Amino acid sequence: MEALDGNAIGGLLLEVFGAEMTNATGVCAHCGASGELATLVVYLQAPGTVVRCRSCGQVLAVIVERLGVKCVDLRGVAALDRAD
């Protein structure tokens, strides 16, 4: 089961944030690496979507859907900046 990248959650991010986020920059709270969300490591086949830092592998974000509502946990993200 290979990991995908942040492109695979483009629709999910658009839905959750109300804006295009694949080219937003995220900073990893664990190691400080920064990169566009499209380049992050994404695991889709799970009880939730898990987004990991490409540098250190730690969890940046977890998205769990419950009764049609998507709950986004961003504890692993130190900063998130839209490209514009």
Partner 1 sequence: MARTAVRGRLSWQIATVDDVVVETARVRTIVLGVSEWPGHRAGQHLDVRLTAEDGYRAEREYSIASAPGEPVAITVERLDDGEVSPYLTDELRAGDEIELRGPIGGYFVWDVEHGGPLLLVAGGSGIVPLRAILRHRRRSESDVPVRLLYSSRRIEDVIYRAELDERADGAEVVYTLTREQPPGWTGHTGRVDAALLEEVAWPADEAQPPLAFVCGPTSFVETVASGLVSLGYPPARVKTERFGATGR
Partner 2 sequence: MNFVSRGFRGRKRDVDADSSRVPPGQYVTEDFPVLSAGPTPHTPLDEWTFSITNGRGTKTWTWDEFRALPSEKPTVDIHCVTRWSKLDTTWEGVSVDTLLEQVEHDAPYVLAFCDGGYTTNLPLEDVTDGKAWIAFAYDGEPLDAEHGGPARLLVPHLYFWKSAKWVRGLELRDDDEPGFWETYGYHSYGDPWREQRYAGD
Q: Which residues bind partner 2 (CB under 8 A)?
A: 1, 3, 43, 45-48, 50, 52, 57, 59, 62, 64, 66, 71, 73
- In single-letter form, the type of residue at position 43 comes to Y
Which of partner 2, partner 1, none sits in contact with 55, Cβ below 5 to 8 A by type?
A: none
Question: Footprint of partner 1 on this chain (CB under 8 A)?
Answer: 1-8, 10-11, 14-15, 18-24, 36-39, 44, 82-84
Structure tokens at 55: 């540098």
Q: Are 80 and 25 in contact (CB under 8 A)?
A: yes
d(CA 80, CA 78): 7
The residue among 23 and 43 lying less far from partner 2, judged by its C-beta, is 43
The strand pairing partners of 49, in sequence order, are 63
